[in-house]
Amino acid sequence: MLALLRSFEDLRVELLAEDEDGVHGYVALSRAWLDARERLVDVLVLSPLGVRPERQGTGIGTALLAAAVEAAAEDGAPLVFLEGSPDFYAARGWDAASEHGLDRPSVRIPDQACRVVLLPAHEPWMTGRLVYPDVWWRRDLVGLRDPDLAAVEAAVDPG
C-alpha cells in the first residue's frame, strides 16, 4: 500500500520513532481532498499509525500523532482526517468530522470513527465530503465491511 501511495506521489510525510534499538513506530500522511461547495481543497489523511507491540503503551503513538499534526500544519494543510478509535483520538484532540460539517468518505466508516483536526489554514467555508484518492479504493481500504462493520458500529455508535 505504501509503495502504491509513493508511486502515485500521494505520500506527503513519513515519520519514524527510532532510537539505537531500532524503529519502534511509524506514521504517514498522504494526499486527499475535501469536496467543498466552492472548490476541491487539498487535505491530508493520516494512515497508517503503528507502534511495535512490545513498545505500545509507552507514549510513542501519542508522540507520533502530535508530530504528524505539526508536520501537516507546516505543510499548509487546512485539516487532517483519519479513521480510528474514537476514544484514543478524542483524548488527543481529534474531533468527530461530523461536528465540523465534514462528511465521511464512506458510510462504512462509523460516524464517531471519522476524526479530524482543523489546522490554522482551515477556513469556515471548508465543509463537505472528505474524498480519498483512487488508491484507497483500488485496495478496498476504506472503512470496514460486515461483519466487522456491524461489530464496531455497535461499540462506537450504540443506538
Give 7 or 98: the residue with its C-beta nearer to ligand COA: 98
Whether residue 120 is preceded by a cis peptide bond, meaning omega within 30 degrees of 0, is no
CB of 59 to ligand COA, least distance (A): 4
Tell the residue number behind the cell numbers 471548508, with chain if given: 126
> Which residue has the closest beta carbon to ligand COA?
61
Cβ–Cβ under 8 Å, residues 127 and 100: yes
CB of 78 to ligand COA, least distance (A): 22
Q: By CB under 6 A, what part of segment 34-93 binds ligand COA?
A: 49-51, 56-62, 84-85, 88, 91
CB of 114 to ligand COA, least distance (A): 11
Tell the residue number behind the cell numbers 505543510, with chain if given: 75
**How distant is the alpha carbon of residue 21 from its chain centre?**
28
How far is 120 from 118, CA to CA, in rounded Å?
7
**How distant is the alpha carbon of residue 118 from its chain centre?**
12
Is residue 109 near ligand COA by the rule CB under 6 A? no
Q: How many residues bind ligand COA (CB under 6 A)?
A: 14
CA-based torsion, 54, 12, 133, 124: positive or negative: positive
Give 61 or 128: the residue with its C-beta nearer to ligand COA: 61
Return residues touching ligand COA (CB under 6 A): 49-51, 56-62, 84-85, 88, 91
